[in-house]
Structure 1
Amino acid sequence: MNWNDNLTAERVTFVTHLECSMTGERYAADRLHGLSSAGRPLLVRYDLDGVRGALTREALANRPNDMWRWRELLPVRRAADVVSLGEAATPIVSLAKVGARLGLKELLVKDEGRLPTGSFKARGLAMAVSMAKELGVAKIAMPTNGNAGAALAAYGSRAGIETIVLCPDDTPEINVREIAAQGARVYRVDGLIDECGAIVGEGAKAGHWFDLSTLKEPYRIEGKKTMGLELAEQLGWRVPDVIFYPTGGGTGLIGMWKGFAELEALGLIGPERPRMVAVQAEGCAPMVKAWQEGEEHAGRWQDAHTVAAGIRVPKAVGDFLILRAVRESGGFAIAVPDEAILAAIDEAARQDGLLLCPEGGATLAAAAQALERGLISRDDHVVLFNCATGLKYPMPDRSRRLAKAGPIDHAAL
C-alpha cells in the first residue's frame, strides 16, 4: 500500500445525477451547475447498488487512511483531476477530565484542525476545486469568514485556477493574510458574509467567475460528508448518540446526514442515527430561532456578532436542509453566549491539553448547557466537532517575566 494510492487509483465512479434538494428535479452529472432552477442546493446521487460491491469494510482497510479512500462515494471521475494537499483522517480525542467534571460517560472531539490549512474547510474545498478543475472552470470566487477562504486559496493555487475571496472587514487577521499568502486576491468588505456573497453572486451573473459559495455548487457537501463516513468507521461502524456541530452555513451537518444514509444503504451501518445538534452563538442564531418556532426556513439575523467568526452567518442558503436533518434525527438547535465559548476553550486547553477554536469551544459550551437542561443524558456518547486549529486565533498573554541575573527563587517558579 503506497501513501498516494487513493490519489492515483483508477476511479470506478458511480455518480448517476444531481437532484434539487427541494423539488427532487434531476440534473445531468458532468456539467457545471450552481443552484437548481428553484434556487436551492443540488445534491449528488450515486448508484448505491453498484457502490455496495466495491466499497466494503475490507477494501477500506487496505487503503491509505485519507479522505480519498471513499472514492466510490465521491464525485471526481478522473484521478488526474484530484486536487489534494494530503487530507488525512482526523483523530478523535477524548476530553476525559472535562467530561468527568460534567458527568458525561464519554466526551470525544473530532479534531478537524489537523487538516491542510488547519480546518475542516479543506474537505469541502478540496472536493469543490477538484470538480471545478474537472469541469473546466478557470476563475472562481467566494465569500468567507476566514477558514474557507484560506482553503480555497490553497486548493485554487494548487489547481492553477484564478481565485478571488471577499471577507468581512473584521475577519481574523491571520485568515486574511493566509488567503493572500496562498495565492488568492482577497478583499475586505464593510459588511457581513452574506453581503460579501451578494457581491460574488453579482459577479458570477455577469460572467466574471464561477460562484463557489457555500451550497451554491453541489460538491462541497460531498467533501464535508466524509467527516461522517470517517467517524462511523473510527467508532467501529457505529454512530455516537449525539453530535454537536458548529453551524454557520451548515454544509458539514447536511453532508454527514447524507453520508450516514449512504452508509446504511451500503450495509456498513445500521438504521441508528446520532441526534444532530446545530450549535450557534447567541449573537447569531437564526437556526435556533427557526427551530424553536417550528419554521422550515430561517430569517436573516440582524446585527450578527460573536467571537466565533466561522458561525457568524446571518442567512444560510441551506437553512431548510439543516433544520430537516436536526428534526429527522431527533436533535435540536442551541445557542451559547460568547462568555461560555471562551470559558470552554480555556477549560479544554488547561484540563485536557486540547486547544479548541472558538467554534469548537461553542460545541463544548453547548454540550454543557444541553446536559444541564436535560436535552442529553450523562450516559450519552457525545462527539463534538472542533472545526479548526486553535492556533489561528488570538490567545491571552499569561506569561510572566523572569530576570536572568537573579537571584532566582527556583522553588517559587
Structure 2
Amino acid sequence: MTTLTHLECSLCGKTYPAHQAHNLCECGGPLLVRYDLEAARNGWSREWIASGPSSMWRYAPVLPVSKPTSMISLGEGWTPLIRARHYGAAVGAQNLWVKDEGINPTGSFKARGLACCISMCHELGIKKVALGSAGNAASATAAYAAAAGIEAHIFMPKDVPQANYIECKSFGAKVTLVDGLISDCGRIVSERKEAEGWFEINTLKEPYRIEGKKTMGYEVAEQFQWNLPDAIFYPTGGGVGLIGMWKAFDEMEALGWIGSKRPKMIVVQADGCAPVVRAFEQGAERSTFWENAMTVSSGLRVPKPLGDFLILQSVRASKGTCVAVSDRASLLAGAELASREGIFAAPEGAACFAALDQLLKNGFLQPEEKIVVYNTGAGLKYLEAYSTLFPRTSESESDKLGGLITPR
C-alpha cells in the first residue's frame, strides 16, 4: 500500500491534494510527490523487496498508485546491471557497470515513467492524455495508454526516428508530426489541452512520471546490496531520470536503507544541444534556451528543460559535473561498446561512454572508482543514426535495405 500523502511544489513549497489531477503549481513550478516515509520505515523492510515482482512495482509503497487494479504494467523496470569489463579495461575504468534500460517495454527507460503516469491517470479517471515528445516518451505513452484504454494524442518532431513513429501508430495513438523541436510540440499541447479535454503529461508538467523513473535509483542501490556507486553517468535531455534518482536517494536515506554519501551525478549532453552544460559552466541556477538545437541523439534535443534547476542542484550537491560530447564521438563509443560488451546502446547512452573517456583522462574520475553508466534506450531504435557508421550499399532493387519488404 502506498504511503503517498501530498504533492509539493519544487519551487515555492505549496502543497496540493495527492489524489487529484494536477499539472504545475500556481507559481509554475513542477510538483513532486511526497510520502509518509516514517510510516513506510515502520511498516516496510528492504529485506521484503526480493520477494516482490521483478519489475519497478517491487517498490510500490513509495509509488503513488493506491490500488492494484489501477496498475498498468507491461513488465517495466528491474533491468540488468552489467559489469563492462572489456570496455572498462580499454578506457582505464576498473569497476565499470552499465544499467541497461534498453530492455524495457518499448525499448527505453521512458516505460518506467509512463507506466506510473498512465496508471495514475487510470486511477484518477482521466480519459485523454497528450504530450510532446522527442520520440521514446511518445512510444511509451502510446503503449501504456493502449493498455489502459486511454486516448493518446502525440506530437513529435517530423524528423523523429522512424521506430518511434511506427510504434505510436501501431499502438493506436493519434500522432501529429511537427515542423520543429520538442519545445514546439509541448507548446501545442499546452495551448490546446483545455479545449480538447486533454490531461497534459509533458515532461515535469505532471508529478507522476518522475516517480516511475526514480525507481532506477532504488534498483541500483538494491543491485549493489544497498551501497551506491561513486559516480553515475546520465544522458540528460529533460533530466527527469536524474532528478528522480536524486529523489530516490533522499527517500532511501530517510528510510534508513542507505547512508548520506551520494554518487557524483554526471550530466551528459550533445554539443549541439547542451543548455544544462552551459548553465553549469556559467555557474547559473537555470539554463537558457539553446538556439538551433541539433543532434542525432533525439532524446537529448531538449533546448530548455523545465527541471533544469533541479538537475543543476543535484549535480552541484553531489560534486558532479556536466559534459557535452559530439555526435560522432557518441556513435563511435556506442559501436565500441557493442563490439566489446554485446550491448547496443542508444546514442544517448553511448554519449556517456564518450564523456567517460574525457573524465578519466582529465583526472575527474579515478580508475578504481565504481562507475555506473545508464544506457537509456536500445540502439535498435536508432538505426538511421548508426547507419552513418555502417552504410549499406545496394547494387539492385533486390539488395535494398529491407530486401523484399522494402516498398517499391
Compute the TM-score of the two structures, normalised by the length of structure 2.
0.94
Larger displacement relative to structure 2 (94-103 or 201-210): 201-210
Task: Summarize the alignment of residues 272-283 of structure 1 with structure 2, pairs less than 5 Å apart.
Answer: 272-283=261-272
Corresponding residue for 2:334? 345
Write the distance in 2 (CA, Å) between the matches of 1:54 and 1:72.
Answer: 9
Q: Counterpart of 2:217 in 1: which secondary structure?
A: helix
Is 1:372 paired with 2:355? no
Report the Cα offset of residue 373 of structure 1.
1.9
Partner of 1:170: 159
Residue-pair matches, total: 390
Q: Give the equivalent residue in structure 2 for 1:220.
A: 209
Give the Cα–Cα distance (whole angstroms) in 1 for the partners of residues 19 and 110 of structure 2. 23
**Equivalents in 1 of 2:316, 2:131: separation in Å?**
30
Q: What is residue 290 of structure 2 aligned with on the other side?
A: 301
Q: Which residue of 1 aligns with 2:169?
A: 180
Counterpart code for 2:273: C
Amino acid at match of 2:200: D
Q: In the alignment, what sits opposite 1:55?
A: 44
2:325 aligned with 1:321: no
Alpha-carbon deviation of 1:400?
A: 9.9
1:12-411 alignment, distance < 5 Å: 12-394=1-383, 395-396=386-387, 397=390
Residue by residue over 1:297-322, the C-alpha shift from the partner in whole angstroms, topping out at 9 and shown as x without a partner, is: 10000010011111110011111011
Cα deviation code 1:382-411 (max 9, x no counterpart): 10010111111114347799xxxxxxxxxx
The Cα offsets for residues 275-294 of structure 1, whole Å up to 9 and x where unpaired, read as 10111000000000001111
Structure 1 pair 245/88, CA: closer, same or farther in 2 (3 Å)?
closer
The 1-side partners of 2:20 and 2:251 are apart by 23
Is the contact made by 1:54 and 1:72 (CA closer than 8 Å) also made in structure 2?
A: no
Could you tell me how far 1:206 is from its partner in structure 2?
Answer: 3.1
What is the CA deviation profile of residues 255-281 of structure 1, one whole-angstrom value per residue up to 9, with x for unaligned ones?
A: 000001100111111111101011100
SS in 1 for 2:125: coil
Q: Give 1:105 shift.
A: 1.5
The corresponding residue for 1:406 is none
Residue 64 of structure 1: how far off its partner (Å): 2.3
Gaps of 5+ in 2: 395-408
Counterpart amino acid of residue 61 in structure 2: E
Q: Distance in 2 between matches of 1:247 and 1:88?
A: 19
TM-score by length of 1: 0.92
CA shift, 1:338, in A, is: 0.9
Distance 2:2 2:222 in 1: 21
Paired with 1:73 and 1:13, the residues of 2 have a C-alpha distance of: 6
- Give distance in 2, aligned partners of 1:55 and 1:374: 41
Query: Residues 18 and 45 of structure 1 are in contact (CA less than 8 Å); yes or no, is this contact kept in structure 2?
Result: yes
Q: What SS does the aligned partner of 1:86 have?
A: coil
- The residue type paired with residue 187 of structure 2 is A
Which secondary structure does the structure 2 equivalent of 1:142 belong to? strand
- CA shift for structure 1 position 90: 0.2
Matched residue SS, 1:206: helix
Counterpart Cα distance in 1 of 2:248 and 2:369: 22
Residue 197 of structure 1: how far off its partner (Å):
0.4
| 1:83-122 Cα shifts (integer Å, max 9, x gaps) | 1111241001122111101111111110001111111000
Instruction: Measure, in 1, the Cα distance between the counterparts of 2:31 and 2:193.
Output: 18
Residue 379 of structure 1 and its aligned partner are, at CA, apart by 1.6
Residue 224 of structure 2 aligns with an amino acid whose one-letter code is: L
Q: Render the CA deviation track for 1:44-64: whole Å, top value 9, x for unaligned.
A: 000001001232122112212
Alpha-carbon separation, structure 2, partners of 1:302 and 1:205: 29
State the 4+ residue runs in structure 1 displaced beyond 6 angstroms.
398-401
Contact 2:92–2:360 (8 Å) recurs in 1: no
Q: Residue 157 of structure 2 contacts residue 179 of structure 2 at CA under 8 Å; is this kept in 1?
A: yes
Structure 2 SS opposite 1:18: strand
Q: Percent identity?
A: 51
Instruction: Give the 3-state SS of the residue equivalent to 1:61 in structure 2.
Output: helix
Query: Which amino acid in structure 1 is aligned with residue 211 of structure 2?
Result: E
SS at match of 2:322: strand
How far the C-alpha of 1:155 sits from its partner, in A, is 0.3
SS of structure 1 residue aligned to 2:53: coil
Q: C-alpha offsets along residues 339-362 of structure 1, whole Å, 9 cap, x if unaligned?
A: 110110111011121111100100
For structure 1, the 5+ residue unaligned runs are: 1-11, 402-413
Separation of aligned partners in 1, 2:21 and 2:216? 25
